[in-house]
A and B are shown apart, each in its own frame.
Chain A
Amino acid sequence: MRKSALLVGGAVATGLAAAVLSGFTGTTTQQGPSAPAAPNAPPAYTIAAGDSANLKGPKQPIFFRHDIHAGQYQITCQYCHYSVAYSSEPGIPSMQTCMGCHLIVAGSDSANQKEITKLRDAWNAKQPVEWERVHYVARHVHFPHQRHVKGMGPNACATCHGDVARMPQVWEVNNVNNMGWCINCHLERKVNRDCTACHY
């Protein structure tokens, strides 16, 4: 057990703020080049908010468009999933992170404006948005994100999560609870297949 830093409660810990920033600035190489839209995919950025129920993946309380954020605007994954490079948990963005942009960005059309209004209302009401979880690893499995991001380099995220940059609504491309799927990858890459690598 390593104690990396002993923090001081009730005071601003500038070190970690810096860590988040570096996660943002230092990872532009980790995002793959934006691929051209597949011919049979719905034209990106034009899906109306009301359509989200017909899309793959669980319907979210706000129709958050990964295809717009990660695809059109090429925001790196780690801008929002800030802790993925140094924690087992990737982190989900705080409402403040959303509002950092959406205080100004109000949406280009009425459908988007409607969704952004939901976000702003939630922020004003101090109520966090309850996202539906898409990827979920069973509790007896320990999946260290940081190690995989480090080891697999630029396409790390997409290897398991698919091309999120082209997903209007995120769905589970791979069943992350399928141990055979994990093991295949570990076999191909000739990495640790010990049981206690994940199960403890």
Chain B
Amino acid sequence: MSDNDQKSVSRRKFLSVLGTTSAGAAVLSGCSTEKVEKLIPYLVQSEDQVPGVATWYASTCTECSAGCGLHVRTREGRAVKLEGNPEHPVNAGRLCAMGQAGLQGLYNPGRIKGPMQKSGGSWRQISWDDAIALLGQQVGAAGAGLAVLSGAPRGSLTGFLADFTAAAGGRLVRWEPFDQTALRLASKRIFGRDEVPTHDFAKAKYIVSFGADFLDTWGPTVENQRQFAESHGFSRDGGMAKHVYFAPRASLTGLNADEWHGIKPGSETALALAMAGVLLGERGIAAPAGAPSVSVEQAAEATGLKAEDISRFAKEFAAAQPSLAVAGGIGSQHAGAVELCAAVHLLNYAAGNLGETVRFGGDLDRGDGQAAFTALQQAMEAGQVKVLLVHEANPVYGTPKAGKFAEALAKVPFKVSTSLYVDETSSQCDLILPGLHALERWDDANPRAGVWGLMQPVMEPVYPNRNSGDVLLAASQKAGGVFAKFAAPSWEAYLKDRWAAMAKARGRDAATFWREALAKGGVYEPEAAVPVKAVVAGAVATEAPAIEGTGDFTLVPYASSLLYDGRGTNKPWLLETPDPVTKITWHAWVELHPDAAAKLDVKEGEILKVTSAHGSIEAPAYIYPGLRPDVVAIPMGFGHTEYGEYAKDRGPNYLDLLGPATGEFVAYLGTKVTVERLREYRKVAKTEGNPRQLGRGIAEAMPVAYAAKGLTVKEAATAAGHPPHEINTEAEVKALEGWREGQVGREDGEGRRLGNYAGEHPLWGMTIDLGKCTGCSACSTACYAENNIPWVGEDQVLRGRELSWIRIERYWEGGTDGEPVEARFVPMPCQHCDNAPCEPVCPVYAAYHTPDGLNGQVYNRCVGTRYCANNCPYKVRYFNWHAYARKAFVAPFELQLNPDVVVRARGVMEKCTFCVHRIRGAQHTAKVTGAPIKDGELTTACAQACPSGAIVFGDLNDPQSRVRQIAQDPRGYHILEDINVRPAITYLAKVVHREPAHAAPGGGEQH
């Protein structure tokens, strides 16, 4: 989009007043008829933008290093929604919550609006020409004192930065906190390959995770989750994989395991080696030379597990082929993490998983590791670094304070940042040259061998900043000398040159290659797996690593899938989306086991002071059953002191408690802490209601044996000795007669006549497979993005006023009387009941039923009596108490608003619409083109995003539709079926690997 400036000005001006469709950019009131419109034409019509029609671009997500492919929906020149690219091998059309929230990075009010230079301790705006001249002068004079610290995903820019620094004899360090260095080093030690392997969860029939949070932050989580749903989601012909999770704390990954065992921190290595020993013994394979052996008894002693359980795990693991063991997650990254990963490599080797579910040759690396970072820091301290360029990294926030990186940074005479935001690191720099967001620039990403994703500008930059590649090229010309060779006229030209070379290497025409890649979002080549054999260089230490310091508790910091390493904390969507495990929003907390809490007499919300040898932090307590009693867990990502208004005042940074990183990686788990009550309180803003089901049958589950037999939820309950709730009155019996059969099975339309009174219309419905849902909350964030849902803030969440149209309920099962704790996740959008209780109570007919089976909500008719919400048994109607949109969509956030969806005003009830605007849009297109809507062509934002593919949307009246097929699954049930509201959403009961007698339907305790 290399339009001239004049044009871009006119276009932006045009956009600011276009606002014609509904929720225009400028005006937020929902029901206004005020007439303040000018029509401002384009000077020159953009070739790829038509008002009212979405234009899609392929791009690549840069929110983490996984490199998922994107389809970006733009309207009138603005990116309004991100979706996964179905062609992309990593995410196959899906996208996580963090990826969805990339838009809030693009339109973040905290973005820097132009280059800034620090003079006399305060910032002053300078021109781009002056800024580039200054950078060129400094870089030219730095010589070998030039260093670049880059956190960006690997791509052409990485190569350029390497050349750029090498030209002067300087150094490039690629660093990010979650770099999987331990796994990489273990691969080197065991297999002689200095890379992170790729894993195939889809093939695995038995998955053992030693603290690798593959659904939270470990590896490409969207890909992991998609594959996990494939293997671990129940199907009657394919069975269901088993997942066992060993770590001191049950993360989201742990809650999705069939068995979670909170073993002693650091004892994973012994366990993995013991399992490998059993396997090798069973198969009569000799252990690789040098591999240590640990007996089952020793492992039992180390972990606190029973010896027979360890044998059982090993035997089950051996019996399932292929299986998969993974390790190297943040929550178990202790000083012995390399040993652990090495042990797990041996376990996979013993089970014959190499080349099957564990493959090398992807050439994955996620940075140079902590050792390179430490070396850079030492050079900075020694005054060897004259000019430091920090690109897409925030080490002042992301490294332990005790490591004193900030002090080292202060010793560098000239520090430059390309950050888009003022964060902890860029605020310490001398010059900020704000770069462009990934959606505004030309760039590429190479997350693994054979996958090259392209990024293209999908819109004019929100602020007139410059791509860091362009800035460095321009600065090179200013610097001259050794840098004069970087003479590409622009980053786009440089990138095209590199891609031309790629095309040449493949014998392709460069222009065609480029255009095809741009349309597809990149180049995807088949994986070239490299066979490996175990070489075992160096022994694997089996003893548990030392936990430093004193105190009653071991500190377990963990990373959330929303805030990640803290980069998500400036995005209100991610703060408002409840943490998938704890359901807490907006503020940090400290997790304690119920027993520990009872011992300390701590209640939820009591401020705890957690002290280590390196510092102390204070945060409110949250009592979490998925924890060992001798650990405290603290989420990462909070505690920013800069990084924009949304990130500030969100609680402490756990890194204040850690000692300096000494080795190849940061030992996140490795500190003893004391916990002290301060007798102060802070309410925890969590969105859960009652954490238990109390026998309401909301999140049903059945043992895999019953599911395989094709039992329904009620049959399974009866078989397990829990007869379902009895229907009492004759009238009730009569009312429900034939209801179940009529749901989807009957052709005469009688079954759903309440919902589909017009007959020939489609009947929209949804299925949600709880066996696949992991609770990751991608659907929820996608809904925020699609439907212009304003975030409400911590204070309003505390009052229960959040507007999350699709929320994820998390219910606890067990956890008492020695029963293992189990979580069940239920996505809860509006159920679009046929016999909806909300409809008859609306005095103004704002809530009503549409002929195509939707529970409609007419905002402009709603007067806000809230009767409907009171009468909704699912509590999915949300009242807009204040003019939340005014606060949430401050400039430039409002540019993200979806013009197809109205922005609701204050005093209006709002709720899930089944993305009615998508339905109507598809119907309009179908009308114009004459081609009927095909099944699968139209889906809701939540179903589109779901990395597990748990949500399916479609026409229940179409006997061939996928949603109808799935709705007829015996596992299908309706939440609160007995109240006869006839929901349009069919849930498929979760399937658990458990002996039938213990499977409690409808939530354990019957009250």
Which chain A residues numbered 134 to 159 have a C-beta less than 8 Å away from chain B?
136-142, 144-147, 150-151
Q: Of A87, A92, A94, which is within 8 A of B53 by CB?
A: A87
Q: Let me know if A102 is at the binding interface, CB within 8 A.
A: no
* Bound-state Cα–Cα, A20 to B50, Å: 10
Closest CB-CB distance, A115 to chain B, in whole Å? 16
In the complex, 29 of the A-B residue pairs with CB atoms within 8 angstroms, ordered by the A residue number, are: A1-B944, A6-B71, A7-B56, A7-B57, A13-B48, A83-B50, A85-B928, A86-B50, A89-B20, A123-B43, A128-B41, A130-B39, A130-B40, A133-B37, A136-B35, A138-B32, A138-B860, A139-B23, A142-B900, A142-B917, A142-B920, A150-B928, A195-B850, A195-B861, A196-B858, A199-B859, A199-B860, A199-B861, A200-B913
How many angstroms between the C-alpha atoms of A116 and B858 in the bound complex? 46
- Which A residues are CB-close (under 8 A) to B19? 139
A10 to B42, CA, bound (A): 17
Q: Which chain B positions have C-beta within 8 A of A20?
A: 45
Going nearest first, the 10 A-B pairs with the smallest beta carbon separation are A89-B52, A133-B37, A87-B52, A89-B51, A94-B45, A94-B42, A88-B52, A131-B39, A126-B6, A140-B860
Provide the bound-state CA to CA distance between A194 and B39, in Å: 30
Query: Is B44 interfacial (CB-CB < 8 Å)?
Result: yes
A133 nearest CB across to chain B (Å): 4
Is residue A38 contacting chain B, with contact meaning CB distance below 8 A? no
Contact of A8 among B29, B518, B928 (CB under 8 A): B518
Contacting pair A200 B920 (CB below 8 A): yes
Which one of B32, B456, B851, B902 contacts A10 once the chains associate, using CB atoms below 8 Å? B456
A92 CB contacts on chain B under 8 angstroms: 39, 41
0/1 interface trace, chain A 101-144, chain B, CB 8 Å (1 if under): 00000000000000000000001001111111100111111101
A146 to B13 alpha-carbon distance, docked (Å): 26
B1007 at the interface (CB under 8 A from A): no
B928 and A142 form a contact (CB under 8 A): no
Is the CB of B31 closer than 8 A to any CB of chain A?
A: yes
Chain B nearest Cβ from A192, distance in angstroms: 8
Is A91 among interface residues, defined by CB-CB distance under 8 A?
A: yes
Size category of the binding interface on chain B = 35 or more
B856→A196 contact, CB < 8 A: yes
The answer to whether A94 and B43 touch across the interface, beta carbons within 8 angstroms, is yes
| B927 on the A face (CB < 8 A) | yes
| Interface membership of A11, Cβ < 8 A | yes
Query: How far apart are B843's CB and chain A's nearest CB, in angstroms?
Result: 16
Asked if B48 and A7 sit within 8 Å, CB to CB, the answer is yes
Confirm or deny: B519 has a beta carbon within 8 angstroms of a beta carbon on chain A: yes
Q: Contact string, A68-101, partner B, CB cutoff 8 A, digits 1/0?
A: 0000000000000001011111011111110000
Q: Is A3 an interface residue (CB 8 A)?
A: yes
Chain B residues numbered 377-410 whose CB sits less than 8 Å from any CB in chain A = none
A7 / chain B contacts, CB cutoff of 8 Å: 48, 55-57
Smallest CB-CB separation from B515: which chain A residue? A8
- Contact pattern, B 596-636, Cβ under 8 Å of A = 1, otherwise 0: 00000000000000000000000000000000000000000
Does A47 touch B at the CB level, under 8 Å? no
Closest to B7 in A: A126
Chain B residues with CB under 8 Å of A9's CB are 1, 48, 57, 456-458, 518
B918 interface residue per 8 A CB criterion: yes
Query: With the chains together, A3 CA to B938 CA distance in Å?
Result: 10
A residues 33-92 in Cβ contact with B at 8 Å: 83, 85-89, 91-92
A137, closest chain B residue (CB) = B20
From A85, A87, A128, name the one whose CB has the most chain B CB atoms within 10 angstroms: A128
- Enumerate chain A residues within 8 angstroms of B58, measured Cβ to Cβ: 6
Q: Which of A2, A133, A139 contacts B30 (CB 8 A)?
A: A139
B937 interface residue per 8 A CB criterion: yes
Taking A1-B922, A126-B10, A196-B858 as contacts, is the C-beta distance between A89 and B21 under 8 angstroms?
A: yes
For the complex, what is the distance from the CA of A3 to the CA of B41, rounded to whole Å?
26
- Indicate whether A96 sits within 8 Å of B43 (C-beta atoms), given known contacts A10-B457, A83-B50, A132-B38: yes
Tell me what chain A mostly uses at the interface: helix, strand, loop, or mixed: loop
| B917 and A97 contacting across the interface, CB-CB below 8 Å | no
Known: A97-B45, A196-B920. A1 touches B939 (CB 8 A): yes
CA distance A5 to B48 in the complex (A): 10
Cross-interface CB contact of B41 among A11, A131, A146, A151, cutoff 8 Å: A131
Closest approach, in angstroms, between the C-beta of A66 and any C-beta of chain B? 14
In chain B, what residue has the closest Cβ to A197? B920
In the assembled complex, the CB of A67 is this many whole angstroms from the nearest CB of chain B, namely 19
Residue A174 CB within 8 A of the other chain: no
Complex: A147 Cα to B926 Cα, angstroms: 9
Q: B2 interface residue, CB < 8 Å from A?
A: yes
Q: Are B902 and A140 touching (Cβ within 8 A)?
A: yes
The answer, yes or no, to whether A25 is at the interface (CB within 8 Å) is no
Check B38 against A131 for contact (C-beta < 8 Å).
yes
Taking a contact as CB atoms under 8 Å apart, the answer to whether B922 and A177 are in contact is no
Q: Tell whether A195 pairs with B848 under 8 Å between CB atoms, given A7-B57, A83-B53, A138-B32.
A: yes
Minimum C-beta distance from A110 to chain B (A): 26
> How far in angstroms is the closest Cβ of chain A from B584?
32
User: Given A1, A97, A128, A139, which contacts B32 in the complex, CB threshold below 8 Å?
Assistant: A139
Q: Which of B899-928 contact A (CB under 8 A)?
A: 900-903, 913, 915-918, 920-922, 924-925, 927-928
A6-B859 in contact (CB<8A): no
Distance to closest chain A CB from B652 (angstroms): 42
Q: Write out the residue numbers on chain B whose beta carbons fall within 8 Å of the beta carbon of A133.
A: 35, 37-39
Q: Are A200 and B41 neighbours in the complex by a CB distance under 8 Å?
A: no
> What are the interface flags for B875-917 relative to A under an 8 Å C-beta threshold, 1 for contact and 0 otherwise?
0000000000000000000000000111100000000010111
Q: Is the CB of B122 closer than 8 A to any CB of chain A?
A: no
CB contact between B519 and one of A6, A10, A95, A97 (< 8 Å): that residue: A6
B295 at the interface (CB under 8 A from A): no
- Residues of B within 8 Å of A3, CB to CB, are 54, 56, 71
Give the nearest-CB partner of A8 in chain B.
B518
Complex CA–CA separation, A18 to B508 (angstroms): 29
Query: What B residues does A144 contact at CB under 8 A?
Result: 920, 924
A21 interface residue (CB < 8 Å to B)? no
User: Contact at B856–A138, with CB atoms within 8 Å?
Assistant: no
When distances are taken between beta carbons in the complex, the residues of chain A under 8 Å from B913 are 196, 200
Interface residues of A in 169-195 (CB under 8 A from B): 177, 194-195
* Cα–Cα, bound, A150→B923 (Å): 13
A177 touches B33 (CB 8 A): yes
B403–chain A nearest beta-carbon distance, Å: 42
Name the A residues within 8 Å of B515 (CB-CB).
Answer: 8, 11
Q: Is the CB of B925 within 8 A of A2?
A: yes
Chain B proximity of A77: nearest CB distance (Å) = 15
Distance of A76 Cα from B216 Cα, bound (Å): 57
Interface residue B24 (Cβ < 8 Å from any Cβ of A): yes
Q: Across the interface, which residues of B come within 8 angstroms of A145, CB to CB?
A: 52
Please give, as numbers and ranges, the residues of chain A lying within 8 Å of B859 by CB-CB distance.
Answer: 140, 199
Chain B: minimal CB distance from A5 (Å) = 7
Interchain CA distance A150-B927 in the complex, whole Å: 8
Measured between beta carbons, the chain A residues less than 8 angstroms from B902 are 139-140, 199-200
A contact residues around B918 at 8 Å (CB): 1
How many Å lie between the Cα of A127 and that of B456 in the bound state?
A: 28
Asked if residues B41 and A129 are in contact (CB atoms below 8 Å), the reply is yes
Per the bound structure, the CA–CA distance linking A192 and B10 in Å amounts to 39
Contact of B160 with A by CB under 8 A: no
Please name all residues of chain B whose beta carbon is closer than 8 Å to the beta carbon of A1 when the two chains form the complex: 54, 73, 915, 918, 921-922, 938-939, 944
Contact of B928 among A89, A96, A146 (CB under 8 A): A146
Q: Which residues of B contact A85 (CB under 8 A)?
A: 928
Q: Which one, B10, B903, B924, contacts A88 given CB within 8 A?
A: B924
A6–B526 CA distance with the chains assembled, in angstroms: 23
- Contact A128-B14, Cβ < 8 Å, known A95-B41, A195-B850: yes
B47 at the interface (CB under 8 A from A): yes
Q: Which residue of B lies closest to A150 (CB)?
A: B928
Nearest CB on A from B249, distance (A): 39
State whether the Cβ of B487 lies closer than 8 Å to any Cβ in chain A: no
Q: Is B279 an interface residue (CB 8 A)?
A: no
Given contacts A3-B71, A194-B851, contact A87 B51 (CB under 8 A): yes
> What is the minimal beta-carbon distance from A119 to any residue of chain B, in angstroms?
11
CA distance in complex: A196, B913 (Å)? 10
